[in-house]
Amino acid sequence: MRSMGQLVTLFLSGMFFANGVPHFVHGISGEAFHNPFLHRFVPSVPSPLFNVVWGLLSFGLAIALGSRSDGLAWGLHAHGIAWGAGFVFAAVGLSLYFRAR
């Protein structure tokens, strides 16, 4: 049985992952997508590259929280690092490619 702290951490992990999806998808599609937390500081809509980075940070935080709570069994190994590096490379490249179109 999981403790209340683990359940809350897993809940937050799910929230961060869900938050990353629209930013990431719009970013790799080359579309700008508004970030509600930055509207006071950034007058224009953030770029696709910004949204990819925001999505990746949200995914990373979701994975870190999920791993910390022992709820998700992700480990740091060469295969995972290679997969993650390819994912980041393609995401950033797609956001730049589609932005130019």
Alpha helices in the chain (DSSP H): 4-28, 48-68, 78-99
Distance between CA atoms of 80 and 14, rounded to whole angstroms? 20
pLDDT tens digit at each of 101 positions of the chain: 467 777 788 788 888 888 888 889 999 988 888 766 666 666 677 788 888 999 999 999 988 887 776 655 556 666 667 667 778 888 888 778 777 65
Dihedral (Cα; 29, 35, 36, 37), 10-degree rounding: 160
* pLDDT for the residue 79: 62
What is the model's pTM?
Answer: 0.74
